Every structure is written in C-alpha cells, then in structure tokens.
Structure 1
C-alpha cells in the first residue's frame, strides 16, 4: 500500500486536506468546458453531481472517522448529493452497494474496499459504465479499476516514527545502546509489515534497531495485553512506538497500571486521545495515518465528476494516484492537527 518514501512525500505535498480546502484559483473563469477539463478555484460552485460512498463498518475509531470525514466533506458543497451505503466489513455486501450505485447512474463512486481484490471486478464494471471510481486506502488488484487511488503511507508512517526516534536519541544523548521497543498491529497484514519495515529502515540510519517487539490486534484489549507483556520483558526502555492509537488506549492503560513512564511514547494514526495525551505531557508524539482519506476522496470525486482539475496544479487533470503524508504531531504543532483527531 505504499510507494518509495521520496515519491510518497512528493505526492503528499499535493494532497493534504488542508491544501484541498484552501486552494487558490489559477483561473477565475470556470466557463463552459464543452466536455473538457477546466481549472477553477476548487470550492467554486459547479455542476450538481451525485456521489455514492461505501465505507467500512464503524467498529474502530479510525474507521468511524473515515465515514464521518466523508460526510463532512460532502456537506461543504451545495452541488454534491452524497448517497451513503451502510458501512460494512463484508465484501459481498459492498459489491451489492456498488452495483446499486451503478444501476442508479451516480456520477462518481468513493469507497474504502473491505477487500481490494474482491471489489476489483465490480469497480471495473463501474468504470466501464463511465462512472469514475475513487479507491481509498486499499488498492484494487487492477489499476484500471479506479480513476483515482488515494492512499495513506504505511511505510512512510514507520519512517516518520523512526526518524523522530533518531532525533530523540540525539537530542537526549541516549547513545548507541538506547533501548527501543515497538508495539505493532496485526502482524499478518501488509500494512503492519510496511510500518515495521519503515521504522526499522529509519532507525538504521542512526545506527539503531528495535530491541523489543510485540504485536497486538488494533483493539484496546489486545493493546493492553501486548504492552503488559512488553513491560515485563523489558525492565528499562527509552522509546516505544505503538502503531495504532485505538489500541493505544489499552497500551496507555498498561503503562499506567505498571507505573512506567521512563520512556518516550510515540503513537500512530492520530486519535483525539493521543492529542490529549500530548497536550497533557503523557505522550511524546503521534504519527498521522489520515482518517481524512475518504473526505479527500469526496472532494476529488466532485472535481472529477465536474470535469475540473485541481487549481493548485498546472496539470489540469486530477492525478491518478495520491499518497498522503505521515507527519509527526508533537506539542509544537498540536493545534494544527487537533481537528483531525478521531475518538477511539
């Protein structure tokens, strides 16, 4: 689900929510496109469009935020009629959602696939019917199944965490023998493997590696169990990176129960809890994995359906692939990212 770090950062510079929300006009004349793409201020009113959205079941704070940001983005525009399918984690149910959108002849479809491979065929059918598909977070098995693929950067998330850890080691003179721990998510998932690889690669640049690693399951209970096991195995730790702020509720509980706070605690994803812990001085930082992806997808689906481009680009077409950045949130930039925090 990732591309090389440099390419990801280049794409990300074009695609953050803040950029899309504050675009300035390259041309104030939206005019009559005659079927061709036009460039105007992104938020200028355009042709009325119907966008179908199929998101996940809200069984996880990040998943719930995906759906919320999609609806909030659509609500910003009087020219968007958003039709929301019931959230699901079942591929067959989601296929039926997309088939309904095709039959209804919506102008664009935005979806976070329950399973990219399982949704590829029906997404291709939508594309063949002339309905652009915006694929969020989980790629299809065929690039042609989507007009736009919009992704978070799992490898880059690990890199950001590792680079920040290296900075802490240098700043606090922790030395070559700094003890670094990692609490991963579900190890069988490619996204977890990519995050861990990015973390390891970044640590290697400052001569460090992971001394203690455990895996949880993106849930509060599993986070608490994994963190408790980690603390028992390592009597002294300098830095801990936890992949996921939802499971971080349990991780933090384990820290508190053990009365352990000698380490710098770095989180992942960007929950509201993490933002509050940073503000209170109970957490050093968290690395964003944007829950705003579907909101960005709605904004871009609107432009694509209206035959418009992104006004901050010279290129008049919306790109086919965008990888969002994985910035580190600290006490210094907390105010900027707090509105993006999601409740666990």
Structure 2
C-alpha cells in the first residue's frame, strides 16, 4: 500500500485515540466538582468527600460548604461524590493525599471504613475534619463537626409516643444499614419504645434514605395486613415516601408519620397535616463548620476538637419559625 492510501487510515486512528482519551477524562472527572473562590497567589486546597451528591439533605450540607468557601479569597475546595461506596471513598482519600491537599473534610459513607481514612490522612500529615457521622475512633481526627444522631431518634420517638398516648404498633424505616446515623437514630427510637409497655416495633426494614424505596416498602407493609399506628423513619425522604404510599390507598389519616432533617419539603408536609414530626438538623451549619475548621487547622488557629450542632424538634406548633429560616 502506498503512502496516499495509508494516510486516511492513519488520520482515522489518531482521531479515534483522541475520542477515547476525551471520554476517559470525562469519566474520571464526573464525580468531582471544584469550588474556587478566586484571588491570586497560593491557596488553601481542601478535599471534601461526601457519601453522595444525590441525597436531598446532603445537598444542603454541600451548599453550606460552598457558601462558606466562596467567602474566602484564598480557599479552593475539591468536592468528590463517593456514591455511597466505602471503598470508593477510601480511594478518594488516597487521591487527595497524592494531590497534596492542605486539609480534608470527610463525611464517611460508613463507620467501618472511617477510622482507616483518618489514619491515612494522619500518616500523611494532613488535617482531617469529620462531619456529621460519629464513629469509634473519631477522636483521632483533627476535629468533629456534627450532631448526636441518637438524640434525634430519642426526640423523634418521644413526640410520636406522646401523639399515640403511649401505645401502638410502630414500623421503623432505617437508612443505609451500617451507617452511623441509621444505627444511632434507630437505637434512640427503640430506647423510648422500651419505656412504654403498650408500644412495640412490629415492622423494621431499610429504605436506604430514599423516597422511592420507602414507597415500595410501605406498600409491602400495608399489604401485609398488619395494624400500623406509626411509621418512624430515619429521615424525611423515607417518611414522605411512606406517607405518599399510605395516602394512595386512603390510609394517611390512620397513621402517624415521623421523619428527621426538617427539609423544606418536609416542612410543607407538616404544614399540610400529613407529616406529624420532624427533627431539624442544621445541614448548612455542619457543612460550613467543616470548611471553617479545615481552614483554621491549616492556618494553625485554635480549633475545638468537637463542635456539637444540636437537633431541634419540629411540629405544627413551632413550624413557622423553621419555614422562615
């Protein structure tokens, strides 16, 4: 084959290589976003790893991080989505270490892998701030910013017990199994239930923090024929999914529904009389606190080892103050 015949084939091969390379780069970057506050000179670079970008409550926490970082002229934050995969999150921490970030803000996917991530960051000499999810060994991190998950479960169930006059059949919807918030919130629920002889847990299963999963689970529970007096969900999204399923079959008014997080949509459901209880968890405050602590650690400023951001009960009686917020 002469040169003229080979040339088109050669050009086609180069073009194909360029396409493959571009696709590979797009795939590598699809789970990463960067917040750059602008300015000149050296910047503090923070790596922030979140369990997922798709969870409603976590979008508010993410917003809190971004809003705070954007006020700082010398800070850049690299956000990565672990897609609820603990092994992927560990790999992200290793990538941060390789990049040489100045600090990390980590909300662990689960409490099992969390100590390992802290150990890796410490070994690399990188300040690491844990946000939201407490675990055994968290004291080895540079700081913890969050709320006591068990307290939210206690507050939630205390109000449900009050609404049921201390008796009834309870169905508990768990978040992702193995995650600190799901474990501790449910433990809080059960601690209160044990105080009431005429209350018992008759159904319990995971809906993975997800509204659609909760709808499916609630449909199955309703089809079981068991008497359900209250559905107590580890978050608002699951509570909303459960009440939507009950409403579809005309049983909304027969059951008390309770969630946690007090998201804007949940507040609307409380206002409409469909959701009875939620517990406010300051997502933006935790997100902003994580970035603030990371910046302080890098600058060598005084830093609290533990910053507790308390939960607050939300019902129809105090709804207006949260709507205004």
Fold agreement, TM-score > 0.5 = yes
* TM-score (normalised: structure 2): 0.72
Is 1:81 equivalent to 2:76 in the alignment? yes
Is 1:285 equivalent to 2:285 in the alignment? no
Is 1:70 equivalent to 2:65 in the alignment? yes
Residue matched to 1:269: 261
**Shift in CA distance, 281/201, structure 1 to aligned 2, threshold 3 Å:** same
* In 2, Cα distance between equivalents of 1:295 and 1:339: 20
Residue matched to 2:317: 332
SS state of the match for residue 282, structure 1?
Answer: coil
- Work out whether residues 169 and 227 of structure 2, in 8 Å CA contact, stay in contact via their aligned partners in 1: no
RMSD: 3.1
Is 1:199 equivalent to 2:189 in the alignment? yes
* TM-score (normalised: structure 1): 0.69
| Deviation readout 1:113-170 (Å, 9 max, x if unpaired) | 234544544533432443210012345664465111234433222101121123334x
**Shift in CA distance, 230/324, structure 1 to aligned 2, threshold 3 Å:** farther
SS state of the match for residue 258, structure 2?
Answer: strand
**Cα displacement (A) at 1:331:** 2.6
SS state of the match for residue 269, structure 1?
Answer: coil
- Work out whether residues 269 and 289 of structure 1, in 8 Å CA contact, stay in contact via their aligned partners in 2: yes
Larger Rg: 2
**Shift in CA distance, 198/307, structure 1 to aligned 2, threshold 3 Å:** same
Residue matched to 1:189: 178
* In 2, Cα distance between equivalents of 1:157 and 1:121: 27
Residue matched to 1:241: 232
* In 2, Cα distance between equivalents of 1:285 and 1:152: 18
* In 1, Cα distance between equivalents of 2:123 and 2:201: 50
In proportion to residue count, which structure has more strand?
2
Aligned length: 280
**Cα displacement (A) at 1:246:** 1.8
**Cα displacement (A) at 1:277:** 0.5
**Shift in CA distance, 125/222, structure 1 to aligned 2, threshold 3 Å:** closer
**Shift in CA distance, 199/96, structure 1 to aligned 2, threshold 3 Å:** closer
Pairing 1:3-42 to 2, within 5 Å after superposition:
none
What are the ranges of 5 or more consecutive residues in structure 2 without an aligned counterpart? 1-41
SS state of the match for residue 97, structure 2?
Answer: helix
SS state of the match for residue 283, structure 2?
Answer: coil
- Work out whether residues 110 and 294 of structure 1, in 8 Å CA contact, stay in contact via their aligned partners in 2: no
What are the ranges of 5 or more consecutive residues in structure 1 without an aligned counterpart? 1-46, 310-317
- Work out whether residues 151 and 188 of structure 2, in 8 Å CA contact, stay in contact via their aligned partners in 1: yes
* In 2, Cα distance between equivalents of 1:93 and 1:264: 38
Residue matched to 1:158: 153
* In 2, Cα distance between equivalents of 1:241 and 1:182: 6
Is 1:126 equivalent to 2:121 in the alignment? yes
- Work out whether residues 243 and 257 of structure 2, in 8 Å CA contact, stay in contact via their aligned partners in 1: no
* In 1, Cα distance between equivalents of 2:134 and 2:201: 32
* In 2, Cα distance between equivalents of 1:94 and 1:211: 34
- Work out whether residues 235 and 259 of structure 2, in 8 Å CA contact, stay in contact via their aligned partners in 1: yes
* In 2, Cα distance between equivalents of 1:273 and 1:75: 26
* In 1, Cα distance between equivalents of 2:255 and 2:56: 26
SS state of the match for residue 77, structure 2?
Answer: strand
2:215 to 224, 231, 236: 224
Residue matched to 1:114: 109
Is 1:146 equivalent to 2:137 in the alignment? no
- Work out whether residues 243 and 274 of structure 2, in 8 Å CA contact, stay in contact via their aligned partners in 1: no
2:93 to 82, 93, 98: 98
| Deviation readout 1:31-78 (Å, 9 max, x if unpaired) | xxxxxxxxxxxxxxxx96332212233233234333333222322333
- Work out whether residues 56 and 67 of structure 1, in 8 Å CA contact, stay in contact via their aligned partners in 2: no
SS state of the match for residue 209, structure 1?
Answer: strand
Which protein has greater RCO, CA pairs closer than 8 Å, 6+ apart? 1
